[in-house]
Structure 1
Amino acid sequence: MTTTDDSDFRARIRQSFDRQGAMATIGAELTRIEPAMVEIELPFDPKLTQQHGLLHAGVISTALETAGTYAAYTTVAADVSLLTIEFKVNLMSPGRGERFLFRGEITKPGSTIIVADGRAYAISDGPAKLIASMTATMMVIRGREDIVG
């Protein structure tokens, strides 16, 4: 898998993540950045639940898509931006836990299209439980002043 030669991709991704109003709103934290893999964690918050008290599917999807996109950012040059153009989420188990982990990993890097897979886990006492998976496609954007990192 090809990764960017930009040795400072971690700092670039952290700066971009810090500009994400959606991630700040839900209380998400960027906890791990590796080549072709990013993890985001989120504490349980009743404000993010649906009517049954479970983590809302929209929140799960948002965090998974973000993890996958930032995993893609580890594989591209610093002057490139990305936009998600498609994703599919499978909700496998109720979003019940004290914390949640969202891991995005690159399945297929590319110069125009990048494919990422993601997994969401609920964390409480005992082993982490897989609650959702996602496949997402990102489009590489170059030369657009209105869409930057």
Structure 2
Amino acid sequence: MTVPGVEVAQSVLDAQPFSVLLGARVEALSPAGVVVRVPFRPELTQHHGFAHGGVQAALADIALTFVGAVALGPRVLTSEFKINFLRPSGGETLVARGSIVSAGKRQAVTRCDIFAVQAGEEKLVATALGTIVTADVPPAGGHG
């Protein structure tokens, strides 16, 4: 299977108004994994000034699904995922690194760790595990 490039993956995100609102950027995409970055800004915080859990969950969903699509092809959906928030997050950027745990023909189990980045230092703030499945849907962004 051919792995779409970062440009194709970014075009998929750019076609999703919510991902655009987050400012999500794909930095790497390969069979080894995916890296997605969201700049931290005040509009994405909760009442204590930390990154809102919904933002972290959305970032996890993006990374889990993209890495699942690398294994299964572009016609995929998230079937389920679980996220553990490990510590409050802030900083300059949130970075998600996703990888495959296991993949078959129709289902992949994927993992994602989310880091808060401040002055180049990363701190693990959340981890997620998801199930990505093939689905009778158009390929993401019309690619594939």
Give me the TM-score of the superposition, normalised by structure 2: 0.88
- Give the ranges of 4+ consecutive aligned residues of structure 1 lying more than 4 Å apart after TM superposition: none
Match of 1:87 among 78, 81, 86: 81
Structure 1 partner of 2:95: 101
**1:130-149 correspondence to structure 2 within 5 Å:** 130-142=124-136, 144=137, 147-149=138-140
Corresponding letter in the other structure for 1:99: T
Bigger helix share: 2
Structure 1 partner of 2:69: 73
Name structure 2 gaps, 5 residues minimum. none
Mapped partners of 1:19, 1:108: distance in 2: 28
More displaced, 29-38 or 111-120? 29-38
Name structure 1 gaps, 5 residues minimum. none
Match of 2:117 among 102, 117, 123: 123
Report sequence identity in percent: 29
Post-superposition Cα deviations, 1:26-81, rounded to whole Å, max 9, x if no partner, equal: 1111111121411111111100000000000000010011011111111234xx41
Corresponding letter in the other structure for 1:17: L
Mapped partners of 1:110, 1:133: distance in 2: 22
Q: Larger C-alpha radius of gyration, 1 or 2?
A: 1
Post-superposition Cα deviations, 1:12-34, rounded to whole Å, max 9, x if no partner, equal: 42332221221101111111112
Give me the TM-score of the superposition, normalised by structure 1: 0.86
SS in 2 for 1:66: helix
Q: How many residues were matched structurally?
A: 139
CA RMSD, 1 decimal: 1.6
Verify: 1:30 aligned to 2:26, yes or no. yes
More displaced, 51-60 or 101-110? 101-110
Corresponding letter in the other structure for 1:71: V
Q: Is the 8 A contact 2:13 2:24 kept in 1?
A: no
Mapped partners of 1:69, 1:46: distance in 2: 26
Verify: 1:111 aligned to 2:102, yes or no. no
Mapped partners of 1:108, 1:38: distance in 2: 15
Mapped partners of 1:26, 1:12: distance in 2: 18
Mapped partners of 2:25, 2:31: distance in 1: 18
